[in-house]
Structure 1
């Protein structure tokens, strides 16, 4: 009998393993597809790393947000998700705020997990655009909420300022006393001005009537009694005829007084008395 012969195959160190060759082929094919989809946005950094310029699906002038999405592929890609990072391009194109980057990357990792076993870079880049749009919307939402909060605070402050002190029966009584006092003082001033505008004889006649009137009657002589202010607080007040104190009546009284003075000066009054 012959002894079995052992055959040993020697694999050269520089010869790629089947899995490694498969990985490189898949990656090379994906790079070609990405270059056709992102001719201006894609930049190949090395044989296993690229970065893609991404922006929100609906860019906002108020919140520009264009970034680099960096993708570094592991040796077992696409059976393992790549390393992902977001990088600022410049200040004018915007940047992520505190907490926003981790939110976006978490969404991208979830998309990568769902795409294991197949080319996933395009899906990750598309998800990045959606995630950045969500960031912009969230910023706008927060700004609107802040604006609404300031508006509510302003309206509440204005309402409090204009609302004043709650009205109670005691406060109303105090206010009415003060109002009536001011109203009486106003009428007295108006009465003084009216008396000063009278002719001397009219003033004498007014003084005689004043002396004969009671305080209540004198107060009711004021023409302002007809206003709605007094009517709001006193019912059954007697209506006073003020027609005798109109401008026409005063003029008529003045002419009659002048005629009598002129007749007396000429002695006509005495002659008439003698004739009677």
Structure 2
């Protein structure tokens, strides 16, 4: 796997793109022009067009189309209703970014009750293309991946509360290396193992999500159908809300049956940014 740094400037580009997404999301029915959007962000249209396309892989105009409900419904209709065999090995190979294979291991009820006792957990803060991340891992895999939305002390306290008896050690350099594997600078095959802490139902939902296609969206109903519980949409939503491993368990790909984006614990703008970034990487 590529162990180099995350692409230079992407963190800064994301901040600008996130502001653009927030504005377009609020005003997409008016179909603002590139010039109007650039004026709102106090940048030149040329600069905005270049950075947006460089970061997301598509233009602001294309993103406006992405936001429309017609587009969302069309994407849902095109989604396959059942889990295809080709998806069962991980993320789809159509990704032009990289072929990241995600495998999972669920903790036993006894291990969960023990609160991580006997586990050595290394955590750290590092930059991703979508902002700063707190990531934690054990020798058995990544167990925590959260975009920074609160003070560092608050996020660390939440991590310690979730794993009260683990041996915690901070290593930001290891966090940077791990994020470089997850977001490589060039297309590369990689593999990440996850250590899941949840109920049997939650783990079932999360594992199904790791098998969804890169660059595609899925509804709560479709996800419930995939796990064989078509009446459990609400429980599926609760499982997504409990997800502690962002991006790698891609709850950002789940949208409402109406085609609307829906909530996201790390912010709706970031959810849309993740969706459009993946769509741009796959050429959709």
Which bin holds the TM-score, normalised by the shorter protein?
under 0.3
TM-score (norm 1): 0.20
TM-score, length-scaled by structure 2: 0.19
Q: Name the one with the larger helix percent.
A: 1
Larger RCO: 1 or 2 (CA < 8 Å, sep 6+): 2
The structure whose residues are more often strand, as a share, is 2
Q: Which has the larger radius of gyration?
A: 1
